[in-house]
A and B are shown apart, each in its own frame.
Chain A
Amino acid sequence: MNFTRRYILHYICIVLIIVTSCTRFEAVRDPYTLYIHISAEPGHLNPITSNEAIASSINSYIYETLLDRDYDTLELKPQLATKWEISPDKLRYRFYLKKNIYWNDGKPFTADDIVYSFKVIKDPKVANAPLKVYYIDVKSVKKLSPYIVEFTYAKPYFLALEICGSIPIVPKHIFDDGTDFNTHKNNRFPIGTGPYKFVAWNTGKTIELVVNDRYWGQKPDIKRIVYKIIPEPNVALQMLKKGELDVMSLRPIQWVRQTNSNHFQESFYKFMYYQPYYNYIGWNARNPLFKDKNVRKALTMLINRQAILDSLLFGLGTVVTGPFYIHDKYYNHDIKPLPYDPVKAKEILRKAGWSDSNGDGILDKNGIPFKFTLTIASASKFAERLATILKEDFAKVGIYMDINRYEWAVFVNKVDKRDFDAVTLGWSLSWEGDPYQLWHSSQVKAGSNFCYFVNAEADEIIENARKEFDAQKRIKMYRRFHEIIHDEQPYTFLYCTPALVVVSKRFDNVLVHKRGLNYTEWKVTTQ
């Protein structure tokens, strides 16, 4: 009896605890705080060593650099610089710095910080490989006076101004203290000059910024930004609906199915805007199957890109035809996507020598069957579903495709080693692109040209365009380059997919620029 009674007692205790703990604690939320969803925690917030997208977006409110891109025109404009001068030989870039700019800890910002940042970027002991690549051709950065710096380039390059002007700048007096840069304590306690300053990092939970009272520019209306780390997108959407988040990026299915109720529309804005990105299927031209450009064309014509876009991504996106961002000035809109036309594709394949000569249902040429493997990243649901559709569609014309799924780390390794037949992937581009790393024949061994695209005319255009400072001429050159790429079909270009963002209607003046959203201009509506 004793025993059961004790048990009952335990149960009662537990129930009591549960009941009391259900009492809700109401806290008044500060309307001037903006809650932003992030799906993963950045490692740290040092703009020199971190290249995570989340870290850069947070850093853009803390750190500043010499030049910035205008939100609407995307042209470069001064940020920490007042003006700049370019030498006639296009090798020296001189920046005049704004005076009276202070780091968050009150120390003044000077040319020394820039010289130090550059030294760190080039330091082989600093783990920043993805950034170092961009500064290979910058030979030196000199301080001419406390408020003048000069960058020297190894050769003329049309993106040099942007690369010099967007150099990540960290405070020398904080980081140059003799400790290891990669593990410096301020990597997780950034000190910048921007409109917000860092205040707290609750590991695994939140990152918090407050407005920088000493900011040199226009002070934002939003006083505090809290980035909340929520790994699960369904949970994040529910938090948004509950009012615990103000901004989040949606997945296509959430955009189409879960955010259309009147109630939702009353409380939230929904924004869709494009960003420099496209995805594609890359055909490894070193594989004899994909050597012939006509075969690659036929493969593109076997893929019903519009139908796949409609069914897998709910039509949220645009079919693209070439290697530039679709809203970039270089993109050649005269080129129309190759049509979905299996009959014609089969005809092209037959002309290229592929036919089913032994009657086994699979095309062959010189005794080699048309069999290959598509390599995909296992966590990408889109790639998984795309691959399944392709497999079926290809099978209908006698092409046998296998699917290999790899974990992301292994996948990158395979691509890096060029160990694949065909691969599906996306490129996130910069606002102003240079096709050199992706398409120049010198990059087939160690660069990003892993599909072995080699074309003499393309090489020439790429090389000349790098030295061409007249934007109009460059546009002409790059549009021709786009034509060549379209004709060669080294990739089957798929889609440029938009960012899908929801923002609480607690805020006013929420504008969608070409560059996206800018929290610093939002106004808090006070009911």
Chain B
Amino acid sequence: MKYYILKRILIIIPTFIGITFITYLMIRLAPGDFTSLRAGVEGELKAGSLSKEIFEQEKKLYGLDKPVIVGYAEWFYKTVKLDFGTSRKDGRKVIAHIADALPITLSLNIFSIIIVYIISIPLGIYSSIKKDTLQDRIISLILFLLYSLPSFWVALLLLKYLSGGDYLNLFPLGGLFSDWFDQLDIFQKAADLLWHLILPVTTLTYGGFAFLSRYTRATMLDVINQQYILTARAKGLSEQKVLFVHAFRNSLIPLLTLMATMLPGLLGGSVIVESIFSIPGMGMLAFESILSRDIPIIMAITSISAFLTLIGIFLADIMYAIADPRIRLEATQ
């Protein structure tokens, strides 16, 4: 087992280098760069703003004249020292950008995941108990309907009808805090944040119910058909006990490993939700930095999420190994 863990950890290093190198290569090879982009905005250039020599001179300033491999080596050397560099756009440290955006995205995602789990798991269990009945079908139908609704459309409808202007005025129109946030006490602050989170979290969650509840339903059904459930029933346990003590606990294992793989997903923000609700999270940060070829930010985000993905996979593997003796056995060989 120790050997297995060590092996898994060692594999992470070359994989990480591979992922980041390919990313760096792709950005450098992609046409367009930050300097020439400054000649204009979408569909509109500033008259007289293009001059080759001066632009070439500026590219040197950012090392864009160096070969890709040298550029990557320099980046890697700095990153190992945890220096992610500064953003091209505003000269701020990349770390500061991530420190601004990450808590926002994390809080949105954690809320959404909790809500998805709280709603989907009971629904999944219910569907598995009522397998193939009318209730099961109606639940599936509704969940799949929700799943198919495009989020930008739902988000705009929610805002239009629930956030003032011409219709109901129940929720704020965007952002995470009110303008008067600083004057509130701690409970009011929490309430204010929640009040702002309701619509974005709704938009982020409604599409997620279908997957998780179907997944729960399937794993539950797997377990329910096992012989030990039959045994439990045979020894006269109540149906509740059979379901929640014996069946559900066993079906939890795959759900837990699913959570481990969700670790890197926590970092990723939704560009659509963030831009509609004016939330400056990781999604917008990544999206804008790619469009503007802001290499330091792109690289920082990729390497952090690559690292977390690898850790997530690693944890999932370890969990499997702990949960399933067959994997453990194979690993020691």
Q: Which residues of A contact B (CB under 8 A)?
A: 1-4, 7, 10-11, 14, 17-18, 20-23, 25, 27, 41-44, 51-53, 124-125, 127-130, 132-134, 136, 180, 182-184, 187-188, 203-205, 229-232, 234-235, 237-239, 241-242, 244, 277, 279, 377, 379-380, 382-383, 407-416, 425-430, 433-434, 436-438, 445-448
A129 to B39, CA, bound (A): 9
A283 to B14, CA, bound (A): 49
B232 within 8 A of A: no
B48 touches A409 (CB 8 A): no
Q: With contacts A53-B41, A204-B101, A238-B159 known, what are 20 further pairs, Cβ within 8 A? A: A7-B118, A17-B191, A17-B194, A21-B192, A23-B191, A25-B192, A129-B57, A130-B49, A187-B90, A229-B278, A234-B160, A238-B165, A242-B164, A382-B43, A407-B32, A410-B31, A413-B31, A413-B36, A426-B45, A437-B47
**CB neighbours of A18 from chain B (8 A):** 194, 198
Nearest 3 pairs of A and B residues by beta carbon: A204-B280, A409-B32, A437-B48
Contact of A410 among B30, B165, B169 (CB under 8 A): B30
B293 touches A409 (CB 8 A): yes
One digit per residue, 1 when the CB lies within 8 angstroms of any chain A CB and 0 when it does not, for chain B 287-300 equals 00001110000000
Contact of B180 among A11, A27, A42, A180 (CB under 8 A): A27
9 of the cross-chain contacts (CB-CB < 8 Å) are A3-B248, A125-B61, A188-B91, A231-B276, A409-B293, A413-B36, A427-B47, A437-B51, A448-B45
B44 within 8 A of A: yes
B321 within 8 A of A: no
A244 to B195, CA, bound (A): 17
B30 touches A409 (CB 8 A): yes
Given A379-B42, A407-B291, A434 and B31 touching (CB < 8 A)? no
A427 touches B188 (CB 8 A): no
A427 to B41, CA, bound (A): 10
Contact of B156 among A132, A234, A430 (CB under 8 A): A234
- Comparing B130-138, B170-178, B204-212, B218-226, the segment that makes contact with chain A is B170-178
- Distance of A492 from chain B, by nearest CB (Å): 16
**CB neighbours of B49 from chain A (8 A):** 51, 130, 133, 437, 448
**CB neighbours of A428 from chain B (8 A):** 40, 44-47
A43 touches B291 (CB 8 A): no
B43 touches A383 (CB 8 A): yes
- Distance of A281 from chain B, by nearest CB (Å): 12
Given A3-B244, A187-B90, A204-B280, A242 and B165 touching (CB < 8 A)? yes
**CB neighbours of A411 from chain B (8 A):** 32
A434 to B47, CA, bound (A): 9
Work out how many contacts link A and B, with CB atoms closer than 8 A. Answer: 225
Q: Which residues of B contact A (CB under 8 A)?
A: 30-33, 35-55, 57-58, 61-62, 86-87, 89-92, 100-101, 118, 122, 156, 159-160, 163-166, 169-170, 173-175, 178-180, 183-184, 188, 191-192, 194-195, 198, 240, 244, 248, 275-280, 284, 291-293
A10 touches B118 (CB 8 A): yes
A427 to B52, CA, bound (A): 18
Given A127-B58, A235-B174, A409-B30, A27 and B179 touching (CB < 8 A)? yes
Contact of B278 among A231, A407, A429, A448 (CB under 8 A): A231
Given A21-B194, A129-B55, A412-B32, A426 and B91 touching (CB < 8 A)? no
- Distance of B163 from chain A, by nearest CB (Å): 7
Closest-by-CB residue of B relative to A433 is B47
- Distance of A445 from chain B, by nearest CB (Å): 8
A43 touches B89 (CB 8 A): yes
A446 touches B91 (CB 8 A): no
A101 to B253, CA, bound (A): 71
A437 to B46, CA, bound (A): 11
- Distance of A60 from chain B, by nearest CB (Å): 16
Closest-by-CB residue of A relative to B169 is A242
A14 to B111, CA, bound (A): 11
A447 touches B45 (CB 8 A): no
A414 to B169, CA, bound (A): 47
**CB neighbours of B38 from chain A (8 A):** 51, 129-130
A180 to B89, CA, bound (A): 15
B156 touches A203 (CB 8 A): no
Closest-by-CB residue of B relative to A276 is B47
**CB neighbours of B280 from chain A (8 A):** 41, 203-205, 229
A130 to B51, CA, bound (A): 8
B46 touches A130 (CB 8 A): yes
Given A238-B160, A428-B47, A408 and B276 touching (CB < 8 A)? no
**CB neighbours of B194 from chain A (8 A):** 17-18, 21
Given A27-B180, A232-B275, A377 and B42 touching (CB < 8 A)? yes
A17 to B47, CA, bound (A): 55
Closest-by-CB residue of B relative to A445 is B52
A474 to B188, CA, bound (A): 65
**CB neighbours of B48 from chain A (8 A):** 133-134, 434, 436-438, 447-448
Given A130-B49, A232-B278, A382-B43, A409 and B37 touching (CB < 8 A)? yes
Contact of B61 among A41, A127, A408, A429 (CB under 8 A): A127
A11 to B123, CA, bound (A): 14
A188 touches B90 (CB 8 A): yes
B42 touches A230 (CB 8 A): no
Given A377-B43, A427-B44, A231 and B284 touching (CB < 8 A)? yes
Closest-by-CB residue of B relative to A427 is B47
Given A187-B90, A410-B30, A448 and B47 touching (CB < 8 A)? yes
**CB neighbours of A231 from chain B (8 A):** 275-276, 278, 284
A426 touches B43 (CB 8 A): yes
A121 to B160, CA, bound (A): 47
A23 to B172, CA, bound (A): 12
A124 touches B57 (CB 8 A): yes
